[in-house]
Structure 1
Amino acid sequence: MTKDYFKRVSAKTPTRFWINNVTEEQARLAIEAGAINCTQNPTYPSKILGNPVLGEGPDNLLKKLMEEDADNESVLTKFQLHSVKKICDIFLPVFEKSKGKEGYVTIQSSPLDESFENIVTCAEMYKDVAPNIMIKIPATESGLEAIRYLCEQGYAVLATEVMSVAQAIDVCEIYEECLKKNSDVKTFAFAHIAGIFDEELSAQVEAQNIDVDRDALWQAGIIVAKKIRRMMDDRGYKAEMLSGGARGLHHFTEMVGARSGITINWQGTADKLLEANGVVIDRFSCAPAPDVIDELLEKIPDFKRAYLRDGLKAEEYEDFAPVRRFRNQFENGWNKALDYIADRRK
């Protein structure tokens, strides 16, 4: 039997398969399986440096960059760009065949400095590296400013770290305003991180001993995603929706049927779904039970903040617990790579 799960998902639903944080080999496998775009994140350098499976290529590149530059942060920024460029090259035929509608690869600047100035400076450095590079920017207060600016300048943009309805609406409104100024603006998407959201809520439930039905809790991130998609459709927003941060296979399968992309890791998620080759069922269109939503709203304050349109203000996005959890993972990965570089200089 042909293992064509992702291709069947694309053929039978409006849901599209993206791949996340891949090596070059995984990128090729993902494209063969039906991936249309790729999200790379700031943990990517730490994933490939010192990885025996990948050979000496990444470390040889790092050595060359270290010889040319004494600043470790600068070296890491350049190393990430060179490494992501290789993934861009692999996805370039997809980009060219689709005439620029697919085949994008994202890159995100240092999570240690998410100021408007640094995001824009890095984006300007990235833009000419590959025609299919997409700038990934956190949907925080300073990030929203950068998203607006780069969108108006014609960059392909992916807003990330979206954990709430408020963030999603804000980034969609920015894109609508950009379209009014220039109908030729490039691809614009945002990533709602349902998996990390669920991970954070589960941690809160355990730490605070919250008595909530586990079946209701299991649905939390997807429930927020469904509200976001519904509001987008009601308002006619043109931004592309993406779901990410999968912490279980259900973060893909429960999204099937959505007019959305879903980005997942190859190892442990995409490969398992491909091997299982399950049936394709539209689960996203099934409305969540009102009593489930009511319980989550009543018992978990951060679900309420994420679910309500006015649950968060822009100045609160950066310190919203699910956003902070996600950013901490990026910071840890970036710092791990910086430590690796520092050790190599000894």
Structure 2
Amino acid sequence: MTANTAQLAAAGVSIWLDDLSRSRITSGNLAELIETRSVSGVTTNPTIFAGALSNGASYADAVAELAAADASTDEAIFTITSKDVQDACDIFRPVYDATNGVDGRVSIEVSPDLAHDTDATIAQAKDLWARVDRENALIKIPATKAGLPAITAVIGAGISVNVTLIFSLERYEEVIDAYIAGLEQAREAGHDLSKLHSVASFFVSRVDTEVDNRLKALGTDEALALTSKAGVANARLAYELFEKKFAESRAAELVAAGANVQRPLWASTGVKDPSLPDTLYVTELVAQGTVNTMPEKTLEATHDHGTITGDTVTPNYADAHEVFEKLAAAGVDFADVTQVLEDEGVEKFIASWHDLQKTVADALAAAR
């Protein structure tokens, strides 16, 4: 019997692990997940690295070397995390080669402190790309207003990008436009478009958490009947927008010239509400050419009991539109929901980044 994760991959969904640590790399666990769970990529963020480094016996030697070299806290962070990403890229290199660059990707994020600074984001994205020095890396840039021109500039410089923290369809459309503009710049600069890849990370469970709180506050039968429906509906409408935008002449011309579409990626797929099925944001978002980045708990739940029934996105566009009509009628201001989530998302990553800085600063001080 084919494993559920293998069935999911066969249905056109790339499974990326939302976690990375030195111990995963050195123990052989990452290589094992490629073999046994159809994992074809990895995403990281400041929260993941803060967790990895706080349990950091496996980082002791690296910290000691950096302390002896009198490295600053941020220099130590980028040295350590870049090394983890480099090594993970090497493990995934056969996947990258076998999929012609589509998968085998490992993401590393620019500092969240730069989320509202376009020029600094561009500069750090270029620096991270050079540090990691692996063509199967992806540089993560948040989809803030300041992030949009940075996405265009970084793609235009021939660097592959994972756009993160997308919540609204309006912002997602701007992200696609920023990617297309970047491809046009890259073509003008003589870069090989076929080598440029991008994913657009659309967050799912956080949408349900915020909307459900508002539905409970409204308290009407109509409102409560919509509980836990917004996240999946929002993602399905994102895929509908993806299909529409990449069928338009501007994008189609670039694809005909060898460019790749920017794939939708479902992020925040761990279920927050324990009353929901633990594979909800996997089984209900199966569509060709998507990525689902999962925490290990969700990955294992999917492998164990996720029922894959084929495409669960494109046949359900009408239902998704209906959910949003009902949310509006019930009194949910979805534009406010997504702005709150973007602001909170940036703040949470900044807080994790500062935790990471403190963890590394303390480790450096102890090593000195």
- The TM-score with structure 1 as length reference comes to 0.85
- Kindly provide the amino acid, as one letter, of the partner of residue 21 in structure 1: D
1:176 is aligned to 2:183: no
One of 116, 121, 124 as aligned partner of 1:122: 124
Match of 1:333 in 2: 352
Number of matched pairs: 327
Structure 1 SS opposite 2:226? helix
| Structure 2 Cα separation of the partners of residues 18 and 229 of structure 1 | 18
| Distance verdict in 2 for CA 1:204–1:79, change over 3 Å | farther
Deviations 1:52-94 (A, max 9, x none): xxx7322321232233244223322322222222222221221
Higher helix share: 2
Of residues 57-66 and 295-304 in structure 1, the stretch that sits farther from structure 2 once superposed is 295-304
2:283 to 253, 262, 271: 253
How far apart are residue 138 of structure 1 and its match? 0.3
Query: Residue 257 of structure 2 aligns with which residue?
Result: none
Structure 2 gap ranges (5+): 252-260, 272-278
C-alpha deviation, 1:99, in angstroms = 3.1
Amino acid at match of 2:263: E
SS for the counterpart of 1:94 is helix
For residues 120 and 61 of structure 1, do their structure 2 counterparts lie closer, same or farther at Cα, with a shift above 3 Å needed? same
1:189 aligns to 2:179 (yes or no): no
Greater CA deviation, 174-183 or 164-173?
174-183
Are 2:28 and 1:9 aligned? no
Does residue 1:154 correspond to 2:172, yes or no?
no
**Cα displacement (A) at 1:326:** 2.2
Q: Which runs of 5+ in 1 are unaligned?
A: 307-316
Counterpart for residue 361 of structure 2: 342
Q: Which residue of 2 aligns with 1:200?
A: 210
For the residue of structure 1 that corresponds to 2:17, the secondary structure is strand
**Kindly, what percent of the aligned residue pairs are identical?**
22
1:193–1:171 Cα change, 3 Å:
same
Q: Is 1:244–2:263 an aligned residue pair?
A: no
2:230 matches 1:234: no
Cα deviation digits, residues 110-135 of structure 1 (max 9, x gap): 11222223322222222232221111
Using the TM superposition, name which of 334-343 and 159-168 deviates more: 334-343
Q: Distance in 1 between matches of 2:77 and 2:263?
A: 30
Aligned to 2:256: none
Q: Quick check: 2:121–2:150 contact (8 Å CA) kept in 1?
A: yes
The DSSP-based 3-state class of the residue aligned with 1:112 is: helix
CA spacing shift, 1:161–1:277, aligned 2, 3 Å: closer
Please say which of residues 252-261 and 69-78 is displaced more in the overlay. Answer: 69-78
CA RMSD in angstroms, aligned pairs only: 2.4
Specify the code of the residue in structure 2 equivalent to 1:191: S
CA drift at 1:192: 0.5
* 2:277 aligned with 1:273: no
Counterpart amino acid of residue 19 in structure 1: L
